Structure 1
Amino acid sequence: MSGLKLFRANTTNSGMTEVMPRLAEVEADVQGLVETYMEVLLGVRFLASEYSTGLVHGGRIDSLGLDENGSPVIIEYKRGTDAGVINQGLFYLAWLMDHRAEFEHLVRDRLGVTTASQVRWSGPRLICVAGDFTRYDVHAVREHRRSIDLVRYRFFASDLLGLETVASANGGTQVARRARRGLVAQAAAGVQGAAMVELAGAVDEVLLRLGDGVNRVERKQYRAYQRLRNFACMCPPQRSKLLVYLKVNPKDVDLVPDFTRDVSGVGHHGTGDLEVQLRTLKDVERARDLFRASFSAA
């Protein structure tokens, strides 16, 4: 976003006027807006604001939430650039891991018993929203084993908010190892199973290469691909097909029988209203534009 320029068309003289970016007057302005629209902006359900970590720990977590895959999320905000934002967030993340029962109790109160029972503790996340970050922040994120997202914000005019993912990591080494083990285990199903595993590997490669900052999240029922929010969810291979769910409005797609399906009113694993059914590597090529559309909308 540091290089992004935004212009408004002037209909009276057919000219263009640049809309200048600005930082918030105070940090609370950013926090309040993100908390109000957290699910739309970050794919995270809001749980609490300024959550106290107790007298012994002596701190307050700016925002607590739960993402689409059931992972606990801590969000820390800074008006401008602050070299301590990552360490502060990691400090709170360590507290959270030591107080799992307290967090699950909060989820149960706000989102219900079922959601609380599905909290995913293998991948808690830290999202830092700030005016900017240093190159040292970006390097630290890429070297760290925690799931961390650095998000730069800017306000434009009086009614526009821009968010840009500066760096994103999910402790990828361990995740990648689990993913490879899962694919190898699935190959034990035989020749047909091996073909489906190859198909899953091809989809995995395409989704990961759609752009920078794509993270892969392993769940028992599906594998999610996200950049802040999920944009694709791939279910384990079936005998003769692979199901991928995308954040694409089915009404904007010419649905093809046995290839694309509207599942907006149908229960399924993962997130997304468009189901894509893949049976061969040619289907992966057919689905590329849909994958890109979902990625762009995330």
Structure 2
Amino acid sequence: MSGLKLFNTKGGVTEVAPRLAEAEADVQDLVEGHMQTMLGVRFLASEYSTGPAHGGRIDSLGIDENGAPVIVEYKRGTDAGVINQGLFYIAWLLDHRDTFRHLVRDRLGAHAAAQVLWSAPRLICVAGDFTRYDIHAVREHRHAIDLVRYRYFGSEHVGLETVASFLGRATGVGVGSRNRATARTQRIAAGDGGMAELAMALDEVLLGLGEDLTKVTNQTYTAYRRMQNYACLVPPKKAKLLVYLKADPATVDLVPGFARDVTGLGHHGTGDLELTLQTERDLERAAGYFRESYALA
């Protein structure tokens, strides 16, 4: 996995050699059985037929934590056709929105079906490896695409690595579009004058944590995402910014008025740790919380 080595430290140090799956179906079965944990996507259907006219079968269909439709395609090793195959299904999906909404309604209920975010449908390709041409194609294409490399380590561990991630030219913001991202965040914050500058600084900090970041905005929050959301910013109110993080509240310092455990409490965005930012000093204090959440996503 891009030079990553895993060692067993019991009774000395022994390298655990990485390996590919015996069959593509092994990877598909594992991911589908634990899709929300592994990809941040709620599973909807496996081997979904696109009908006799289209003549295809989607490996996995799901919906991510921001409400975006997700197609997941799997390959055991390296396959130059995996991206084009997935985009073939994305085109079908965009032409059959009612079909997808009905599927979501049947599996997750009417509320989830009403919240589908069509501005950013995603393709996730899970494969043994990708070529440099695949990575270039992802960054040039207009759709949201994630390339995820897998490896098995021994009989008990599997690793996933995001090789490339781009939110798409027509639908949102990737790491190459940060000026537009900052401008949008500034507009969101403009309703509360004192928060505009702080929101811009927060945007820079969250997008500056790594090169594998994307960002998506819906009606209620802006999500900063690796494979999964690591931070969600809701529109400012009462001269403060509320940010929700993936970090586990049980593992961090909960400071009254600054960091709060909101597990089980309803709020916009995803994450159980709420940070309240009112000043630049608060933003500095939040840096460690941001890094922990980013590492978990």
Partner residue in 2 for 1:264: 263
Distance 1:96 1:174 in 2: 15
Distance 1:167 1:127 in 2: 10
Matching residue within 30, 40, 44 for 1:43: 40
Matching residue within 63, 72, 75 for 2:72: 75
Distance 1:29 1:5 in 2: 22
On the 8 A contact 2:61/2:70 being kept in 1, the answer is yes
| Offset from partner CA, 1:199-238 (integer Å, 9 cap, x none) | 1111111111111211101011100011111111001111
On the 8 A contact 1:179/1:218 being kept in 2, the answer is no
Distance 2:10 2:238 in 1: 57
How high is the TM-score relative to the length of structure 1?
0.95
Write the letter of the residue equivalent to 1:184.
R
Distance 1:197 1:84 in 2: 45
Partner residue in 2 for 1:219: 218
On the 8 A contact 1:129/1:152 being kept in 2, the answer is yes
Distance 1:174 1:156 in 2: 36
Gaps (5+ residues) in structure 1? none
On the 8 A contact 1:64/1:74 being kept in 2, the answer is yes
Q: Which stretch of structure 1 is more off in the superposition, 123-132 or 2-11?
A: 2-11
1:281 positional shift: 1.0
Partner residue in 1 for 2:7: 7
Partner residue in 1 for 2:227: 228
On the 8 A contact 1:133/1:152 being kept in 2, the answer is yes
How high is the TM-score relative to the length of structure 2?
0.95
On the 8 A contact 1:196/1:239 being kept in 2, the answer is no
1:282 positional shift: 1.1
Partner residue in 2 for 1:130: 127
1:174 positional shift: 5.3
In the alignment, structure 1 residue 155 sits paired with structure 2 residue 152? yes
Distance 2:295 2:188 in 1: 32
User: Does the C-alpha gap of structure 1 residues 77 and 185 become closer, same or farther in structure 2, counting only changes over 3 Å?
Assistant: closer
Partner residue in 1 for 2:176: none
Partner residue in 2 for 1:117: 114
Matching residue within 122, 138, 143 for 1:141: 138
Distance 1:9 1:178 in 2: 44
Gaps (5+ residues) in structure 2? 174-179
Distance 1:225 1:110 in 2: 26
1:178 positional shift: 7.0
